[in-house]
Amino acid sequence: MSDLLYSDVEDDLRAGLRALLAEACAWPDVLAGTETDAPYDAALWERLTEMGVTALPVPEAAGGAGASWREASVVLEELGRAVAPVPFLGAAVLGTAALLAAGAPDLAADASAVLAVPLSTPPGAAPDGVRADGGRLTGVITAVADAGAAATLLVPAGDGLYAVDPGADGVRVTEVVALDMTRRLSDVALADAPARRIGDTGAVTAALTTGAALLAAEQLGIAERCLEMTVEYVRTRYQFGRPVGSYQALKHRLADLWAAVAQARAVVRYAAGCAASGDPDLPVAAAVAQAHCSATAVRAAEECVQMHGGIGFTWEHPAHLYLKRAKSASLALGTADRHRAALAGLVGLPA
């Protein structure tokens, strides 16, 4: 059984990261970034890299921090709280997990490789949009997260996983309009593009499973921050001479949401622990975490918008950033329904 509590090291990591994000990732800056062509906040990403959090699960011998996915999960919680526009999920989680599973940890230290699969791909699915022919790839992959930040694209094709230079001849990366502009999506077109085989597609399955487990941590961060903002607002917003939060109807809704967030933390910690230790229960833990946390994040963001009243619907309040991130994440790496169906199969429940 994985330890669900945070270690002192994880608490220190959280404190340092939260301080950095408070200084360098204020929500007005995040909002302003959505109106630019920049695929991500390069300055913030550089500071996270310097801090060492982008290579936490990579062994020290390969140039990483030698930590684990538990610490990476804490990072995702904080990035979710800040709706940070950095390619952590695509590069530092999916890309790194694929490289580690493929036995190429030396390529993972700088977190510059992105797994090129549609963001909606659930664990166990077999991306089939690309064909390999003599070390060259042809095909199209739609809605790849963080492809605009990639120095290397990790492309599944046939029975192999290939490394592709996004600047090579025959490779075109085109950004597409996404609901969540703090996590950019791109289509990747390959036309007889040169590629290097680095592993088999088992690495893709491993990466997607780890990604689903870790994405739940980001969803926890979103839900927790939305709950905090909402509680603070209803405590200070008066109507008819009393705080609106004193009305029982709102109290009950917020109490239920608090319980859902507390449950989310438990499943997130278990999933992260399974990913860190290579526990064979990881597919079950990831499915449970996604089934619960994606719905909890969306619910928390929706409650945040609604309980803030009119201000919650405006561009000048951050609630819409959290709602878009939560909605987008609820479709990433498999929907909650898809994970519930997978969970039934994993634990042997009859249809």
Condensed to tens digits (0 to 9), the pLDDT of residues 17-32 reads 999 999 999 999 999 9
Condensed to tens digits (0 to 9), the pLDDT of residues 189-223 reads 999 999 999 999 999 999 999 999 999 999 999 99
| Spatial separation of the C-alpha atoms in residues 51 and 256, rounded to whole Å | 37
User: Would you state the CATH architecture of domain 8-96?
Assistant: Orthogonal Bundle (1.10)
- At 3 the pLDDT is 80
How many Cβ atoms are within 10 Å of 196's Cβ, its own excluded? 11
**Terminal C-alpha separation, the chain:** 28
The fold of the 204-347 domain, in CATH, is Butyryl-CoA Dehydrogenase, subunit A; domain 3 (1.20.140)
- At 349 the pLDDT is 87
| Spatial separation of the C-alpha atoms in residues 144 and 246, rounded to whole Å | 45
| Spatial separation of the C-alpha atoms in residues 31 and 12, rounded to whole Å | 28
User: Would you state the CATH architecture of domain 111-200?
Assistant: Beta Barrel (2.40)
**Ranges in the chain, pLDDT < 50:** none
pTM listed for this prediction: 0.96
- At 351 the pLDDT is 64
Domain ranges of the chain: 8-96, 111-200, 204-347
